[in-house]
Amino acid sequence: MLTTSVALRCLARCGCINAAISTRAMQEIGLLFVLEPAIAALYPPEERQKALSRHAGHSNTHPYMMPLYLGIILALERQVADGALPAAALGGVSRTLSTTLSAIGDGFFEGAVLPCWSLACVIFVLWGQVWAAIALTALLVAGMVAFRIGIFFYGLRHGVAALQWLKRLALIDWAGRIKQVNAVMLALLLGVTPWTGHTFPWLLCVPALLCAAAAAAFAGRVRLPRIVLWLMGVACLAFLDAALAGV
């Protein structure tokens, strides 16, 4: 039986998922470590090795989405242990699920939320509001912990049906909106950055904002690598301020 204490042990181990990552199987060892308490509770000793072997192999999920992945996998394992689901169906579901959640996590957290937090903290520090940056960081950490706990228990309760709720959240759409906010903050950052011997003209924030929006639209239509746009931006800044280029 999968008790609350066993589920919490699995969730606690979830924070160590990347501690034993390898280039060949990625999170395989970490995933087996996370699942071990639940497998021990659901299966008799003679069946535990077989149950763990179903999750052996390549596995890679974004750390922030791992609790949801873990909750769904534990819900499926509980059905397999009860005889309501064939064990053969679990392998394909887990591989597809890990890849899907990894893509969502990369796009939303790494591509939007974390850059937004970074830009906001840099702006607060340049404004002299260090405590505001600390408060924002603490708020983000608390929100992420609550998010991880919530999606774990939601996935554990609803199983694969939790993916319908995840779809309604539309995290990828929210990532696009947050990236627009990031573009505005990037233009604001140019305005509050201390430049050599003079203050950066606020008038240039408007064209900077327009350039950021145009770059985002251009990258989406032409599929131009973002690193190219970044290099172009650095080159423009180097021409605006020679000290930025180290000369």
| Pair (144, 219) in one structural domain | no
Q: Cα separations (Å) of 59 from 15, 38, 86, 88, 106?
A: 16, 18, 21, 17, 15
Question: In sequence order, what are the residues at sequence separation of 6 or more whose Cβ sits closer than 8 angstroms to the Cβ of residue 225?
Answer: 219
In a domain, 186, yes or no: no
Asked if the structure places residue 187 within a domain, the reply is: no
Q: Does 188 reside within a domain? A: no
| pLDDT, tens digit only, all 247 positions of the chain | 678 888 898 888 888 887 777 777 788 788 888 888 888 888 888 888 888 888 877 778 888 888 999 999 898 888 888 877 777 777 777 778 888 888 888 889 988 899 999 999 988 988 888 999 999 999 999 999 999 999 999 998 888 888 888 888 888 888 888 888 888 888 788 777 665 555 555 556 666 667 766 766 666 666 666 667 667 666 766 666 555 445 4
98 with 166, same domain: the answer is: yes
Q: Which two tokens stand for residue 139?
A: 């708020």
Tokens of 197: 């011997």
**177 in a domain, yes or no?**
no
pTM assigned to the model:
0.76
For residue 147, the number of C-alpha atoms closer than 13 Å in the C-beta half-sphere is 14
| 47 and 154 inside one domain | yes
* Cα pseudo-dihedral 162, 20, 55, 166, rounded to 10: 10
Residues 134 and 214 in one domain: no
In a domain, 185, yes or no: no
Q: Is residue 116 part of a domain?
A: yes
Its domain, for residue 141, covers: 1-170
Kindly state whether residues 134 and 71 are assigned to the same domain: yes
